[in-house]
Amino acid sequence: MHARTWMTPISLGIFLLLSIVLTTAIGASGFSLLDLDTATVTMLLFDVRLPRVLAALLVGAGLAVAGTAMQGLFKNSMADPYIIGTSSGGALGAALSIVFFMGSFLPVFAFVGATASTVLVYIISRRNGRVAVETLLLSGVAVSMFLSAFLSFIMYMAGNSLHQIMFWLMGGFWNISWNDVWLGLLILPGCLVLLLYARDLNVISIGEEDAIHLGVDVEMMKIVLLLISSFITGIAVSVAGSIGFIGLITPHVMRILVGPDHRLLIPSAMMAGAALLMWADTLVRILPTEIPVGIVTSLFGAPFFIYLLRSRTRT
């Protein structure tokens, strides 16, 4: 790889570090930090803002890496945890935990839901050993609608838990604490595992048969990537709810900037997704009335998805 190839990841790393500092400093309190006493500033920065910023960083990074892995696995630039139903499954699992178990084992329920929905979409889409792009997208939509029907029924029966379920559906970082950050740290080992499969993702892009001849256990790789991507998505959903399109937009843009080599693409998407969600959350924090960050990502992500669809149609 040429030296200039690393300029984008290095620039993203510097931008991410600056973003952590700036998004932590920016808030909606309406007061200048210079006008507050030291104890208040410490509490505001380290107990309120910093956990929220770090949670957004971890969730954004995880969703972007999961989206990158799914796009590489399915050879489809329109695959991401939101589009193919993984996030919907995770949200349904979280809702079941909230209603029936008062939120206990919520990450476990979210992971099981995310994994089950992903596997279901993959099974439906697979025909004659291959996964068709159109079938994948339609299967994801169908499974998401099916899960949404169950979720609507749970919400109807939720009673006092309805507000908490709505939080997961819209996605946000309102009540983030350090406990959520510790939970979100589980995303990092998952991202590392996916990075270790970067070479195999490069090989499989030239074709499954060629990958097998080059020594890649394709079927085992698919299982591992699906499980790890579902694990990451489940943790992200349990921390911040269902946040869409981070895993769609970020890998696509980074692929344009750094190329298809997953050894560079995965860390670049990881940093870009982290920065994107951090700034999106900062935007909703400084609005006169805070809105869920999932609304913002969908407002930007949905038109981008339409653009991808139209681009594929033209080609």
pLDDT single digits (tens) 217-265: 877 888 888 889 888 988 898 888 888 889 888 998 898 889 889 999 9
Cβ-count burial 42-80 (b if 16+ within 10 Å, e if not): eebeeeebbbbbbbbbbbbbbbbbbbbbbbbbbbbbbbb
Helix (H) or strand (E) holding 131: strand 130-131
Is the pTM higher than 0.75? The answer reads yes
Whole-number Å distance between alpha carbons of 234 and 70: 15
Identity of the amino acid at 87: S
Which has more pLDDT, 275 or 84?
A: 275
Own/partner pairs, 36-42, CB within 8 angstroms, 24+ separation? none
Per-residue confidence (pLDDT) for residue 285, from 0 to 100:
86
Whole-number Å distance between alpha carbons of 56 and 43: 19
Sorted by where each begins, the domain ranges of the chain are 50-309
Q: Is residue 30 predicted with pLDDT exceeding 70? A: no
Question: Are the CB atoms for 232 and 65 separated by under 8 Å?
Answer: yes
Whole-number Å distance between alpha carbons of 122 and 241: 23
Mean pLDDT of 26-36: 60
Q: Angle at the Cα of 163 (from 121 to 303), degrees rounded to 5?
A: 50
pLDDT single digits (tens) 293-307: 988 888 887 787 777
Q: N- to C-terminal Cα distance for the chain? A: 29
Superfamily of domain 50-309: ABC transporter involved in vitamin B12 uptake, BtuC (1.10.3470.10)
Per-residue confidence (pLDDT) for residue 223, from 0 to 100:
81
pLDDT-above-90 percentage for the chain: 25
Query: Where residue 94 falls among pLDDT bands split at 50, 70, 90?
Result: confident
Which pair of tokens denotes residue 178? 């350090």
Query: Where residue 276 falls among pLDDT bands split at 50, 70, 90?
Result: very high
Per-residue confidence (pLDDT) for residue 313, from 0 to 100:
54
Mean pLDDT of 130-151: 80
Whole-number Å distance between alpha carbons of 195 and 175: 31
Whole-number Å distance between alpha carbons of 211 and 218: 7
pLDDT single digits (tens) 143-198: 988 998 988 898 888 777 787 788 777 888 988 889 999 999 999 999 999 999 99
Q: Is residue 312 predicted with pLDDT exceeding 80? A: no
Whole-number Å distance between alpha carbons of 11 and 14: 5
Whole-number Å distance between alpha carbons of 231 and 112: 8
